[in-house]
Each structure stands twice: as C-alpha cells, then as structure tokens.
Amino acid sequence: MAPRSRTPAPRRRRRFLASTVLLAAVAATAVALYLDRHESTHTDRPVTDESTGTAVPDTQQAHTDLDRLAVARNRNWESYERNAFGPGWSGRGGEPKLSDGCTAREDVMKRDLTDVRLGESNSCLALSGTLHDPYTGAQLPYNRFKASDIEIDHVVALGDAWRSGASEWNADQRQKFANDVGNLLAVQKQANQDKGSKTPDQWKPRQEYWCDYARRWIGVKTRWSLTVQPTEKAALSDMLAACGPVPGR
C-alpha cells in the first residue's frame, strides 16, 4: 500500500498563521463594535448610589459631555408644576427616603455643613453646623431649631429640567430627579431665590465657583439626557475655562 501523503510543514505553518490572523481580526472588530456602542449611548459610567447622586465629572469629561449634549429650544414651559416632581421638603413628612434611609434634604445638609452635629437617636438629622456657601462665599451658621438663612437648591432647577426634557418623563422618573443628591446644594437663601430656575447664561454664582458649578450642571444634564439651549451651552463653555487648560484641547 502506498504511504499517505502528508502536508509539508511549511504549508501547515502558513495555514496556522493565516487562521491566527483571521481570528485576531474578528476579535478586534468585535471589541471595536462593543466600544462604539457603549461610547455612543453614554453607558460607560456607572449609575451612582442614591445617597451620593449624579457624580460630578472631571474637567476633561465635562468638556466631552458638553460637546455631546443635544441642543434644543425650551418646550412645554407653560405646563410646569412643582408637584409633577413629587412632594417637596415641607418638613411635614411624606418625602421619599433614599437607599441610606434618609431624605435627600437630610443627606445634603450632612454633606455640605462643616462641624456638623447629628441627632443621637436619628443620625439622618443635622442639628447644627456651618455652611460655606458655594454661591456667595458667605459663612452661614445652622441650627435646626432656629430660623435659617440656608436653603437646598436644585442646581439644574426643576423648572429648567421640565423645559429641557422632563415634561416627557413619567412621575417616578421626575421624583427620582427631584431627589438626585448630586443635583442638590445647600446654599444661601437669597442666592437660591435670585437664581430661581435660571440657566447659566442668565445667572452665575461667584466666579471662584464657576468651574465646579459648570461641571455639576453638565454632569446632571448628561446623566438625565436633558437638552441645553445654544446660549446655555456657550455660557457653560465659558465657565469651564475657569477650570484651567485641558491637555489635548
């Protein structure tokens, strides 16, 4: 019987190398498609815990996110009502509790006050402390049992959120937005009232806070897929300049 013919070793090596190259190309294509899909849908950053809320992006990420935000004119402004976002913080109860068992207002006060003293039987309550107001730079004392010059501000106001996309949400999503701790700051009462539901092209805090304010604003609008107006986007870009130069830009 004639011996079986065998494929020469050089030919086998060529076939092996060709198969390896093909598999590597397929794997690279799959990775590229995966990254492209995740980049385009902005799902590369994890959703934060309720008790910390939307994360503030660093300066480079804020520039990137601002470039990606959809630009649109305000809509449905005439139909806005505060109760569309759930109960406020009247102090009469009924406010939703977050994952840590405290309300959003309680978590913000504990986070933003210095020298804070908490309740012994209820650690959610800030009994006293001092606020260094980010909007004005003022030092404000706080005592839970006395009249206060401190209020909790929605950085991206509920009214602005409504006009930039929240009017199309369901009630549950609007309530979660209203209690997003990353969109809340303890601030001076008068500054909060002066700001109202204005966007950064209409109202700004003291210049020393422009960088942090713009980064937080952009982070919230990105997380919640809210739109920006052309003048709002331009103002945010100007405020980000206060953060200093970004390598590669």
Tell me if 76 is assigned to some domain. yes
**Tens-digit pLDDT profile for residues 174-198:** 999 999 999 999 999 999 999 999 9
Tell me if 6 is assigned to some domain. no
pLDDT score recorded for residue 52: 81
Q: Model pTM?
A: 0.79
Tell me if 4 is assigned to some domain. no
Predicted confidence band of residue 44 (pLDDT cuts 50, 70, 90):
very low
Tell me if 165 is assigned to some domain. yes
CB 240 within 8 A of CB 63: yes
- Report the domain count for the chain: 1
Beta bridge mates, 103: 97
Predicted confidence band of residue 33 (pLDDT cuts 50, 70, 90):
very low
Average pLDDT of the residues in 67-78: 93
b/e per residue, 177-210, with b = 16+ CB within 10 A?
bbbbbbbbbbbbeebbeebebebbbeebbeeebb
Percent of the chain with pLDDT over 70: 77
Side chain identity, residue 247? P
Tell me if 175 is assigned to some domain. yes
Tell me if 19 is assigned to some domain. no
pLDDT score recorded for residue 50: 73
Tell me if 132 is assigned to some domain. yes
Tell me if 223 is assigned to some domain. yes
- Domain limits for position 94: 59-243
